[in-house]
Amino acid sequence: TQLLEQSPQFLSIQEGENLTVYCNSSSVFSSLQWYRQEPGEGPVLLVTVVTGGEVKKLKRLTFQFGDARKDSSLHITAAQPGDTGLYLCAGDSGTYKYIFGTGTRLKVLA
- Enumerate binding residues for other proteins (CB under 8 A): 30-31, 33, 35, 40-45, 48, 50, 88, 90, 92, 95-103
Least Cβ distance, residue 103 to other proteins (angstroms): 5
Least Cβ distance, residue 101 to other proteins (angstroms): 6
Provide φ and ψ at 17, rounded to 5°: -80, 160
How far CA 44 is from CA of 36, 68, 85, in Å, comes to: 5, 26, 11
Cβ closest to other proteins, residue 14 vs residue 96 = 96
Are 68 and 9 in contact by the 8 Å Cβ rule? The answer is no
Cβ closest to other proteins, residue 42 vs residue 82 = 42
Instruction: Determine the number of helices (DSSP H) and then strands (DSSP E) in the chain.
Output: 0, 11
Cβ closest to other proteins, residue 45 vs residue 58 = 45
Least Cβ distance, residue 68 to other proteins (angstroms): 18
Least Cβ distance, residue 67 to other proteins (angstroms): 18
Are 72 and 34 in contact by the 8 Å Cβ rule? The answer is yes
| 3-class SS of residue 81 | helix
Cβ closest to other proteins, residue 54 vs residue 83 = 54
